[in-house]
Structure 1
Amino acid sequence: MRKILLCAYAAVAASACNTGTSTSKSAVDSTLNQAFAGYEQHFIDDLWKANPDWATSVGYHKYDSVLIIPNNAAREAALQFAGRHLDSLKSYNPDALTDANKIDFQLINNFLESVKWSIDTEKNYIWNPSNYNVSGTFAFILNENYQPLEQRLRSFAARLNNVPAYYEAAKSQISNPVPELTTLAIEQNLGGLSVFEKDFADSLRKTTIPAAEQASMVAQAKAAVGAINSYVNWLKALKPENPRSFRLGKDLYDQKFRYDIQSAYTAGQIFDSAMVRKAYVHKEMARISRELWPKYFGNKAMPADSLELIGAMIDTLSANHVKPEEFQTAIEKQLPTLISFIKEKNLLYIDPSKPLVVRKEPAYMAGVAGASISAPGPYDKGGNTYYNVGSLEGWPKDKAESYLREYNHYILQILDIHEAIPGHYTQLVYSNQSPSLIKSILANGAMIEGWAVYTEQMMLENGYGNNEPEMWLMWYKWNLRTVCNTILDYSVHVKNMSKEEAIHLLTKEAFQQAAEAEGKWRRVSVTSVQLTSYFTGYKEIIDLRTAYQKQEGANYSLKAFNEKFLSYGSAPVKYISQLMLKH
């Protein structure tokens, strides 16, 4: 879950666009495009004023001291914001905009429509208590060194004034909430108490803020703690007569998929494609397992059941992994190999002036070993990009062994491709080459995750791993995670899949560990649609590449496709496709 959220943050941190020069000059209205550029800045200024927490998270700090109370007036203001800007968009003919601006136009329009839909139709402010949690932005203000500490602490203190009213408003909105989301809200709000009870006071002691002012600030923090505890206790005592199911249902799911994923396909079509893909991957995994069986099992009888056969082979290959203390070192050593392979195969340009810094996962991110990318935000494009690697130090031997079997010799290489080169890190470098903020702020998660999944296949297709069947088998296992994320999410929220059926899908058909499957079940019970972003983006990119290769014929170049695709920034694949497949 942590990794996914970080990936989601990386999506917000990504940025940019194509220059738009491929649009026919006769169709482009330069005056209109200049006006649209001015409108974009006006939209962004208005967006941050209406969403101060979001502004803080992307590095815009004008409104750090503002905490909006989530009451009826705030929702009405959000609807007015959306309506006002939808009216403004009517002044611009998208056909007369550059390619870059066409995409920006669509992203802004989709965002505004989704704001209206979430308030008027989804209404999760009523049934999702985890919507109400102030600790994230407060923690960001404390932990990020973007301003002098005293300045940040005074912004922190100013925000504290509205915390009691914030939680009173939350109580007034909630009715018959989802039990699973109620539990999540309790856990997350309690988890954030230390920010106000300890971290704030510790930070104050490092400053020269006068003692009387500090005492007033501490009193405000105590009032905030009281408000949070009051909310938590209220949730614990809540006994809704007709609690809402966490399952979204077909109508809401289809609509949310359309706004969040922005795919050329419907949610149902993506589900059907995932089912077809699962069958294909199982067939290929069985074929490879039969090929490898004599090498690893000699004359031992081969299981008749194909899934049992695949499981036995995966279990055997998973024993090949690094030692716990070598986890980070193995990742560091792998990156130059990936760069050399990409250069040798001429797959795409890797900018040597944008180094990736591999580091031990910072303490404030620690808790689950793994790997993630921390990219600079849209207001700090010159900042470092970090590849955070979790430590297994202090883990019990059996827990570390289980983890390392999951991220074995083969999967660890695929993880590096996905997270770093040529996956997330490389895509973010390309994105940051343009000053466009819209594609950064409203970045499409399906494109970002889809690109990372696509690069795994692209690297293996071009011979990475020496075409070893072991590497292909393990990649198919990894790819099944992407495929089954979609199947699970749609099946649970639309088709009422039970927990037992979900665990069977993940453990028996996707070859995941029981603990991992349990975690995924919890995730699908407190989120919806996001799990489909990986497979949807991947499928759309593969579809686009096939169509682009056909269009280009003898002139097709994989390197040209990859670089042209990335030049459009973190935009929905369906819009990139419209621009790359011009006739």
Structure 2
Amino acid sequence: MTNRPTPSLLALAALISLGASSSAFAADATPAAPAASAPKPVRGVIKVEPNIAADAADLDADTRFQRLANDYIEALWKLDPDAAIAAGRYEFADRLPAPDRANRAQALAFSEQWLKRFEAVDGKTLSAASRTDLGQLLNKLRSDRFALTELRQFEWDPSGVNVAGPLDYILATDYAPLPVRLKVISARLAQVPAYYKAGASLLKQPTLEHTQLAIDQAPGVLSVLDEIAKAAQGPDAASLTAAERKQLLDRVAAARVAVDAYKAQLVKLLAAGKATGKARSFRLGQALYEKKFGFDIQSSHSAEQMYQRALKAREALLTQMADISDKLWTQTLGDAPKPEDRFARIGAVIGKLSEQHVKRADFVKEIRAQIPELERFITAHDLLTQDASKPLIVRETPVYQRGVAGAGIEAPGPYRPQDRTYYNVTPLDDLTPEQAESTLREYNRWILQILNIHEAVPGHYTQLVHANKSPSLVKTLFGNGAMVEGWAVYGERMMLESGYGDNAPEMWLMWGKWNLRSVTNTILDYSVHVLGMTEAQALDLLQRQAFQTEREAREKWRRVQLTSVQLTSYFSGYSDIMELREQRKQALGASFKLKDFHEQFLSYGNAPVPVIAELMAQPKGTP
């Protein structure tokens, strides 16, 4: 799972699925630093000088469109500085978006205005590259409108009101000297009380689950504020004047009061919701779910059709896993009687093998040690070009991001590809011995390797490094989650097909269990949000039928209550990539080379798989 926010007017709604959250609409503020300190863009959609007085009619259709796209992106950063920060642009970082009604009205008007302009573009006059850029922009703007007018997550998800993410990025990113960044942070902090007041005013019957999440994340927000205060008093901030430092610390204190007050208000809302039974359900329902699925996944299939496909894929996986388990039975369980029920049979073998895992204290250390091994395998088997100048840093997940997923990649935006990429891993320190053992069995000797393939090499980390090199800024910025997650799932199977794990049946069985997780994610998400699956039914699906430990199953139940549609992205993207690979094999015949397929596929940024398929099918030399 990726943790870097995708730039969007709907960051407030989207980031809940990532474990961190922030709102998304701008408010005017006094600049905290001179304009010269702001980073200049290092790339754009197209290199067109803004002061050239050429008549637009004299430009070709592609150039006119790319100018329009560039104008939209630059206007978006002014409206939505949180999204700009996520992309690596810090010119407007001193402005804290205030999620009030006026700014939401402004955001809706902005989306409607730009939607009309892009809908007026004749896609038939554009090259394939520009035409698919146009499709991405139209989808983004329609998705923004849907979230503002129909989904309205800002009314029922209090966890969207959270200042931690952008503050952490500003503090941790060396786009300017620390004293300059602290001045920017100080300006943001001055707006925090009004920000929380505005966010609270929009809440209408928030769900119990999202309210509890916001309460649970409050200490993490406070920890970011503590880090700011510490930095302000450190030696690297010595050039701040005494007045500037005092002002910053006073604003940190005021922000802490605002966070605590918001948390206290949520505690009351939670109690009232439980007492009255009038809290909104976390379930989206079919109408909203189908629409959200269409915008988020961008598949040629509906949500219901993808659910049906997942059911078929599940059956094929279980058949394969049952066969491997039969072959491993005596080796793992000796003379123990073999159950007739295939779930019991598969589960018994997996359970015995899962006893082989790292020690609790070595969990993060082992993940860190495996990354170079994966990189060496990729190089030795010539599967993909890797960029040694973009090292991956494995670290413990920042406190404010904890609560939804245990591991994830936090990658830099396309404007600052040189910045660090973090592999956030939540340590097991705070778990009871029983909880820790459950987690370690879930991420056993084999699955821990598959996790690292998914999250790091050649999964999310590798894919996002390539995405930042794409010539299409549109496809990189406004990418498709199903492609991103699908590539990570595809990487798991591709590595094993290429010989990783020495073709051991234990590795293939555990891959089956892990891949079954992606398939089950789709079944679970649709069943819960559309079909009304209960907690007991969900836990049975996850534990008995998908062989997940109790702790893992309960965490997934929590996640499906806090997110929607995102869990379907893994299977949807994976199945589309596998289908595309087979199509390219048939089209190219003997000239097909796996490395070439991978590098061409990744060259299109974060575009949806159907868009990539269209672009890969273009004759060489076609723009």
Is TM > 0.5 for Structure 1 vs Structure 2? yes
1:336-373 Cα deviation digits (max 9, x unpaired) = 55455445554x33235446445454776897996543
SS of equivalent residue, structure 1 residue 125: helix
- Could you tell me how far apart the structure 2 residues matched to 1:426 and 1:308 are? 37
* Correspondent of 1:94 among 110, 123, 141: 123
Do the aligned partners of residues 370 and 72 (structure 1) sit closer, same or farther apart at CA in structure 2, a change above 3 Å counting? closer
Do the aligned partners of residues 16 and 370 (structure 1) sit closer, same or farther apart at CA in structure 2, a change above 3 Å counting? farther
* 1:178 to 2:207 alignment: yes
1:207-243 Cα deviation digits (max 9, x unpaired) = 3433344434433333333333333333333336632
1:134-158 Cα deviation digits (max 9, x unpaired) = 2332333334333222222222222
Letter in 2 for 1:248: L
Question: Residue 450 of structure 2 corresponds to which residue in structure 1?
Answer: 414
* 1:221 to 2:252 alignment: yes
* Correspondent of 1:483 among 495, 519, 524: 519
1:91-149 Cα deviation digits (max 9, x unpaired) = 43223323332222111111111111111111222222222222332333334333222
Letter in 2 for 1:5: N
SS of equivalent residue, structure 1 residue 60: coil
Contact 1:6 1:372 in 2 (8 A): no
* 1:129 to 2:162 alignment: no
* 1:351 to 2:386 alignment: yes
SS of equivalent residue, structure 2 residue 544: helix
Structure 1, 321-330 or 532-541: larger mean CA deviation: 321-330
1:418-567 equivalences under 5 Å are 418-567=454-603
Do the aligned partners of residues 426 and 67 (structure 1) sit closer, same or farther apart at CA in structure 2, a change above 3 Å counting? closer
Letter in 1 for 2:167: F
* 1:202 to 2:230 alignment: yes
Question: Residue 39 of structure 2 corresponds to which residue in structure 1?
Answer: none
Question: Residue 314 of structure 2 corresponds to which residue in structure 1?
Answer: 278
Do the aligned partners of residues 35 and 6 (structure 1) sit closer, same or farther apart at CA in structure 2, a change above 3 Å counting? closer
* Correspondent of 1:403 among 408, 419, 439: 439
Do the aligned partners of residues 69 and 399 (structure 1) sit closer, same or farther apart at CA in structure 2, a change above 3 Å counting? closer
Contact 2:3 2:410 in 1 (8 A): no
SS of equivalent residue, structure 1 residue 373: strand
1:135-214 equivalences under 5 Å are 135-196=164-225, 198-206=226-234, 207=237, 208-214=239-245
Letter in 2 for 1:546: E
* Correspondent of 2:356 among 298, 320, 328: 320
* 1:383 to 2:419 alignment: yes
Do the aligned partners of residues 337 and 200 (structure 1) sit closer, same or farther apart at CA in structure 2, a change above 3 Å counting? closer
What is the CA distance between 1:519 and its match in structure 2? 1.2
SS of equivalent residue, structure 2 residue 60: helix
- Could you tell me how far apart the structure 2 residues matched to 1:201 and 1:345 are? 48
Contact 2:4 2:409 in 1 (8 A): yes
What is the CA distance between 1:277 and its match in structure 2? 1.2
Question: Residue 261 of structure 2 corresponds to which residue in structure 1?
Answer: 230
* 1:5 to 2:3 alignment: yes
Tell me: higher relative CO, structure 1 or 2? Use CA pairs within 8 A at least 6 residues apart.
1
Structure 1, 127-136 or 350-359: larger mean CA deviation: 350-359
Question: Residue 35 of structure 2 corresponds to which residue in structure 1?
Answer: none
Give aligned-pair identity as a percent. 43
Letter in 2 for 1:39: L
Question: Residue 64 of structure 1 corresponds to which residue in structure 2?
Answer: 93
Contact 1:135 1:189 in 2 (8 A): no
- Could you tell me how far apart the structure 2 residues matched to 1:478 and 1:16 are? 38
Do the aligned partners of residues 408 and 188 (structure 1) sit closer, same or farther apart at CA in structure 2, a change above 3 Å counting? closer
* 1:35 to 2:64 alignment: yes
- Could you tell me how far apart the structure 2 residues matched to 1:411 and 1:501 are? 25
Question: Residue 343 of structure 2 corresponds to which residue in structure 1?
Answer: 307
What is the CA distance between 1:77 and its match in structure 2? 0.7
1:48-63 equivalences under 5 Å are 48-63=77-92
Question: Residue 292 of structure 1 corresponds to which residue in structure 2?
Answer: 328
Contact 2:470 2:476 in 1 (8 A): no
Do the aligned partners of residues 231 and 466 (structure 1) sit closer, same or farther apart at CA in structure 2, a change above 3 Å counting? closer
Structure 2: gaps spanning 5 or more residues: 7-14, 21-41, 47-57
What is the CA distance between 1:571 and its match in structure 2? 0.5
When normalised by structure 1's length, the TM-score is: 0.88
What is the CA distance between 1:333 and its match in structure 2? 5.7
Contact 1:48 1:54 in 2 (8 A): yes
- Could you tell me how far apart the structure 2 residues matched to 1:189 and 1:397 are? 26
- Could you tell me how far apart the structure 2 residues matched to 1:76 and 1:428 are? 33
- Could you tell me how far apart the structure 1 residues matched to 2:192 and 2:44 are? 38
Contact 2:100 2:199 in 1 (8 A): yes
Question: Residue 110 of structure 2 corresponds to which residue in structure 1?
Answer: 81
What is the CA distance between 1:255 and its match in structure 2? 0.3
Contact 1:302 1:309 in 2 (8 A): yes
Contact 2:2 2:409 in 1 (8 A): no
Task: Give aligned pairs, total.
Answer: 568
Contact 1:303 1:309 in 2 (8 A): yes
Do the aligned partners of residues 479 and 259 (structure 1) sit closer, same or farther apart at CA in structure 2, a change above 3 Å counting? same
- Could you tell me how far apart the structure 2 residues matched to 1:48 and 1:341 are? 40
Question: Residue 106 of structure 1 corresponds to which residue in structure 2?
Answer: 135
SS of equivalent residue, structure 1 residue 509: coil
Contact 1:16 1:431 in 2 (8 A): no
1:169-209 Cα deviation digits (max 9, x unpaired) = 2233222221222222233235423444x334333323343
Do the aligned partners of residues 18 and 552 (structure 1) sit closer, same or farther apart at CA in structure 2, a change above 3 Å counting? farther
* 1:269 to 2:305 alignment: yes
Letter in 2 for 1:257: F
SS of equivalent residue, structure 1 residue 169: helix
- Could you tell me how far apart the structure 2 residues matched to 1:429 and 1:436 are? 14
What is the CA distance between 1:489 and its match in structure 2? 0.8
Letter in 1 for 2:331: K
Contact 1:431 1:566 in 2 (8 A): yes
SS of equivalent residue, structure 2 residue 466: helix
Structure 1: gaps spanning 5 or more residues: 20-28
Do the aligned partners of residues 224 and 38 (structure 1) sit closer, same or farther apart at CA in structure 2, a change above 3 Å counting? same
- Could you tell me how far apart the structure 1 residues matched to 2:481 and 2:419 are? 21
When normalised by structure 2's length, the TM-score is: 0.83
Letter in 2 for 1:514: E
